[in-house]
Structure 1
């Protein structure tokens, strides 16, 4: 069950990233992130109100930390993409999965030998599926920003897991409330909402709900098992995004991406078995 839930989070994250990327071709990336996060916050708030049971024990600090880490990671990632080469930035950011694995093991988790094999294969596969480039000169700024994004993404996964062990629903709500607050402040400072039109709101809502679903699936998976294993399976989303780009917009996959996708799937199978 853990494997299916974590893989489901990868599918949801990868799909949301793909369609979010398409929308970013028409609107600023920060606007797409802000609107999708805000609309997702309305959805999760409605769920919390419908449940009618709110507990404030255990999860607030984890949710706050996850929101700050996740938002910082997104801003760093998009800034790195705008100033550097995606083939350098994306693979570095994908390595953020190492953070929750290390923290999970440090907190007492003991994955089996085969699980370790599967995790290593999957991590290498995801990195290759991101399309790494090793030729040409690369400035230090995008590399540093990509490292910051990787650390923040990895920390966000670990914080979600810790908060979900207290309350999955409230952790997701608190995380989204934090990220939306930060993004509203950014919008006020820029004095702009990105030029988003009413007709684009349904697509942005779908992206926001996809990200919300991914967070929920990962939170349930990790809180019921080992965060180190769930984090690896939940971080296969670059493969999903690459496959959708190939299938929908006919983007050509490089041989290294095909190899990486195959390795990521193989690693996931080993972990699941």
Structure 2
């Protein structure tokens, strides 16, 4: 039962990070938000690493690089889409990225029981509906948001799979390798562009917290994936849109639509069915 709880913790942390990152991206360039926050989180990881037991083979290396590059690109696309203010378009589409590792898990021979399979379907559908799919608005904005969200979904799916594969060898080293790869990529881009996007010193505390929250969510997913079926772990962690929508309702006073309320209820039903299995 610890694995599913860690996966739900990953969803909670991801939901908070996505909400905070989306808000920061409304006044700072998306690439700067991701790059600087990840650089700050790498520093925190390196400070913590000596106090965490490290074990396992070096099989994490390639997977961590894949996770770092795909995850960074996905976050840039996700925050860029959120900068348009079309949360109802971005969140449900990006949540579809979880289907990538789920398909891989089932194709590799994972066999959830009947209750768990029903829970997977319910939780996945609930995560999408909870975002309140809305496809109205001005055409140019809608088109950009959808394309960025699709790119984010593909990137998130690859990242989840790579985190799980790398964590099977070493969760902590996967996190360090993942962050090192992404920070190196953003560092090269910053040098090439001669800019870090206008990030001021006063922004660093918030960006550090954002980066730590993101890496914590990744770590929770990685550890959870070593304790249970990949298909179940990923779907539970993909419930982050429920958290993002809830924060928007509480902090931004956005009214939840009936479809969102139904989605939240369906997501909780899915969690219950998975637990029952």
Matched residue, 2:13: 12
Question: 2: distance between equivalents of 1:119 and 1:24?
Answer: 32
Matched residue, 2:202: 199
Matched residue, 2:257: 254
Question: 2: distance between equivalents of 1:268 and 1:110?
Answer: 17
Matched residue, 2:32: 31
Question: 1: distance between equivalents of 2:181 and 2:9?
Answer: 25
Question: Do the aligned partners of 1:48 and 1:54 also contact (CA within 8 Å) in 2?
Answer: no
Consecutive unaligned residues in structure 1, runs of 5 or more? none
Consecutive unaligned residues in structure 2, runs of 5 or more? none
Q: Would the alpha carbon gap of residues 28 and 118 (structure 1) be closer, same or farther in structure 2, given more than 3 Å must change?
A: same
Matches within 5 A, 1:56-95: 57-81=58-82, 85-95=86-96
Question: 2: distance between equivalents of 1:258 and 1:105?
Answer: 29
CA displacement, residues 197-250 of structure 1 (integer Å, 9 cap, x when unaligned): 222222211111111111111111111211110000001111111111211232
Question: 2: distance between equivalents of 1:223 and 1:42?
Answer: 25
Question: 2: distance between equivalents of 1:247 and 1:142?
Answer: 24
Matched residue, 1:227: 230
More deviation, 237-246/142-151: 142-151
Out of 182, 185, 195, the residue aligned to residue 182 of structure 1 is 185
Matched residue, 2:267: 264
Question: 1: distance between equivalents of 2:86 and 2:54?
Answer: 47
Question: 2: distance between equivalents of 1:48 and 1:124?
Answer: 37
Question: 1: distance between equivalents of 2:85 and 2:212?
Answer: 29
Question: Do the aligned partners of 1:162 and 1:223 also contact (CA within 8 Å) in 2?
Answer: no
For normalisation by structure 2, the TM-score amounts to 0.90
Matches within 5 A, 1:145-224: 145-224=148-227
Question: 1: distance between equivalents of 2:110 and 2:131?
Answer: 28
Question: 2: distance between equivalents of 1:241 and 1:263?
Answer: 16
Q: Would the alpha carbon gap of residues 182 and 168 (structure 1) be closer, same or farther in structure 2, given more than 3 Å must change?
A: same
For normalisation by structure 1, the TM-score amounts to 0.91
Question: 2: distance between equivalents of 1:102 and 1:34?
Answer: 30
Give the C-alpha shift of residue 257 in structure 1.
1.5
Matched residue, 1:106: 107
Taking only aligned residues, the RMSD between alpha carbons, in angstroms, comes to: 2.2
Question: 2: distance between equivalents of 1:142 and 1:247?
Answer: 24
CA displacement, residues 117-176 of structure 1 (integer Å, 9 cap, x when unaligned): 111111111111122124467565543443232122111111100110100000011011
Question: 2: distance between equivalents of 1:7 and 1:51?
Answer: 22
Question: Do the aligned partners of 2:41 and 2:212 also contact (CA within 8 Å) in 1?
Answer: yes
